[in-house]
Chains A and B, each alone.
Chain A
Amino acid sequence: MADPLAIETTELRKSYDGAEALRGLSLQVPAGSICGFLGRNGAGKTTTIKILLGMAHPTSGQARVFGLPADAPESSVEIRRRTGFVSEDKDLFDAMTVGEIVRFTAAFYPRWRPNLEQRYLRQFDLPRGRKIKALSRGMRTKLALLLAFSRGAELLVLDEPTSGLDPVVTEEVLQAIVSHVGSEAMTVFFSSHQIAEVDQIADRVAIVDGGCVVVEGALEDLRERYCRVQLVFESDAPEPALRAPGVVRMRRAGRVLSVLCSAGAERILDETRVLNPVSAEVVPVTLKEIFLETVRAGD
Chain B
Amino acid sequence: MKRFPPYLLFLTFAFGTAALAADSPTIKIISSLPRTGSANAQAQTIVNGIKMAIDEARGKVGNFTIAYEDWDDASPERGQWDPAVEAGNAQKAVQDPDIMAYIGTYNSGAAKISMPILNKASLVQVSPANTYPGLTKPGLGEANEPQVYRPSGKINFFRVVPADDIQGEVAAMWAKELGAKKVFILHDRELYGKGVADVFKRACGKLGIQVVGYEGIDPKAANYRSLMTKIKGADADLVYFGGTTQTNAGQLAKDLVAVGVRAKLMLPDGCREQALIESGGRENLNDRTYVTFGGLPPKQLKGRGKDFYENYTKKFNAEPEAYAVYGYEAGRVVLEGIKRAGKKDRAAITEAITGLRDFDGVLGKWSFDQNGDTSLKVMMVEIIKDGKFTPVKIVGM
A binds B: no
Interface residues of B (CB under 8 A from A): none
